[in-house]
Amino acid sequence: MNTDKDIVKIFDTTLRDGEQSPGASMNTEEKIQIAKQLEKLGVDIIEAGFAAASPGDFEAISRISNIVEKSRVCSLARAVEKDIKAAGEAVSAAKLKRIHTFIATSPIHMEYKLRMSPDEVIRRAVDAVKYAKTFVDDVEFSCEDAGRSEMGFLKEIISAVIEAGAGTINIPDTVGYRLPHEMGEMIKELSGFIGEKAVISVHCHNDLGLAVANSLYSVLNGARQVECTINGLGERAGNAALEEIVMAIKTRKDIFKDIDTNINTKEIYPASRLVATITGIEPQPNKAIVGKNAFAHESGIHQDGVLKHKETYEIMRAEDIGLDTNAIVLGKHSGRHAFKEKIKALGFDLNEDELNKAFERFKMLADKKKEIVDDDIRMLVTSEITSVPETFKLVRLQISDCSEGVPSAAVTIEHEGEQKTDAGIGDGTIDAIFKTIDRISGYNGTLNDYKVEAVSKGKDALAKVVVKVVFDQTKPAVIGHGLSIDTMIASAKAYVNALNSYLSMKEVLKTKERPQENI
């Protein structure tokens, strides 16, 4: 049995650093669903957000703190009192809680961004850790841009913050600059310097495509916490991907020997699909572990080998990450009990109201679609559990898109129990639909992004549409999701969903912008 010394803690920052990925903003309900899945996945620490960034972040962290019990809930905070106070208040209800505070330590950041001397930086760091300790027992300190910091200064500031009460020291490769052997050497030296006084963590960015390799080399040289995200989501080129780190440690026991994680790997694929569905950012098909092609074989030679013995071309089993190889199981004759058992097997835990609504949507789909696969069901259920209050509801849509005529759309929307119908024209069918919805609702949106994807295969495939819309130029874009066999109906649903999401977030988005900080 592994001792605590051999366990690498998984610190997931999908809800904080992952959300800083352009276009990946999530509403509170969506963040809560992801946090629940991360807890089910076995993540040790969930960085639920940046409490001082906005009222929306504060609310999400607070609500997650009241729900999550097994994982530690953490909030990021700059090394300033107002950030730390907001973080402490946001996580106050958590059963297990942490404040993660940071300040830059590289010469270039101290001179040009902070405009502070090294001595001032150390004083600020120590004061931050001491203040954070007044709110929580567990404080993590990060040396932002540690990858380009001087070793002598790193040791000096690390000694000071450990003395002040920091229990975890994070060494971020903030700009993804280091090579694996360099990260390994840095962590090895710091591990010898710190000893048992604190846990060493790493947070590697993927600018050179080395985030996972850098994280693994760090683990081999003494790091016992890794900061990562689902699907590698994050700013610029993203973060180290949780699924790749965990499965590398699990698969290569000849190298990692007694090292292990607390992750339930069968929840990896459900977590990946949930994050992709909510953010609208799909992993590339050839993405390791969770990409659509990760366990697909097209080459005849490969197919022959796998059919004879899977290990000829597969070093992992699809089942190990929660991917069901027997996907087609339900149809229009399936009952509620079978549906309930299926969604339970897929990792969802719905209350009765959510189950009833999801089953109703399933039966409607089953009337139109011959075969329903797991991804169809995942999409239906995810759409239900992350839904926002329906201030506006799409009732009917009729379109005209003659090649020689003007594209037009007639839309019926329900609002406060009353239905209103209007029609309009546009530069294209989608434009006509969205303009008509604007006129009926009284809210004018600007479309920033539009994506349509088939959830499964076949001419009757369920269409998933994701839109990013700005309804207020002073606020960030909101994401809307729509599902239907008909792409135009899915598009209309997605736009209405974005509007409802905007209205649900309107109150908590009234104030300041997110501080653009990155570790």
| Domain boundaries of the chain, sorted by first residue | 4-279, 300-385, 392-505
Bridge partners (DSSP) listed for residue 202 = 171, 226
Alpha-carbon gap, residue 454 to 341, rounded angstroms: 25
Could you read off the pLDDT of 197-237 as tens digits, one per residue?
999 999 999 999 999 999 999 999 999 999 999 999 998 99
The answer to whether 243 touches 272, Cβ cutoff 8 Å, is yes
Mean pLDDT of the chain: 88
Per the structure block, which two tokens stand in for 74? 């953490």
Is 392-505 a domain of CATH 3.30.160.270?
A: yes
The answer to whether 237 touches 269, Cβ cutoff 8 Å, is no
What 3-state DSSP class applies to 71?
coil
The answer to whether 14 touches 230, Cβ cutoff 8 Å, is yes
The answer to whether 168 touches 72, Cβ cutoff 8 Å, is no
Burial of 237 by CB count in 10 Å (0-12 exposed, 13-18 middle, 19+ buried)? Answer: middle
Q: What is the mean pLDDT of residues 364-375?
A: 77
Q: Identify the H or E element spanning 497.
A: helix 487-505
- pTM of the full predicted structure? 0.80
Q: What amino acid occupies position 319?
A: E
Could you read off the pLDDT of 325-348 as tens digits, one per residue?
544 457 777 788 888 888 877 777
Identify the residue whose tokens are 């994401």. Answer: 479
Q: Name which of 141-145, 154-158, 301-305 the model is least confident about.
A: 301-305
Alpha-carbon gap, residue 404 to 362, rounded angstroms: 38
Percent helix / strand / coil, the chain, rounded to 5? 45, 20, 35
The answer to whether 470 touches 445, Cβ cutoff 8 Å, is yes
**Shared fold status for 4-279 and 392-505:** no
Per the structure block, which two tokens stand in for 313? 């071309």
500 Cβ contact partners less than 8 Å away, ≥ 6 residues apart: 388, 389, 390, 391, 392, 480
Q: Name which of 126-130, 402-406, 488-492 the model is least confident about.
A: 402-406
- Residue among 25, 52, 22, 14 nearest 501 (CA): 25
- Residue among 279, 512, 493 nearest 396 (CA): 493
Alpha-carbon gap, residue 56 to 30, rounded angstroms: 12
Q: What is the mean pLDDT of residues 440-449?
A: 94
The answer to whether 409 touches 396, Cβ cutoff 8 Å, is no
Q: pLDDT-based confidence at 367, cuts 50/70/90?
A: confident
Could you read off the pLDDT of 295-323 as tens digits, one per residue?
764 445 444 554 555 666 567 888 888 87
Please tell me the class of the 4-279 domain: alpha beta
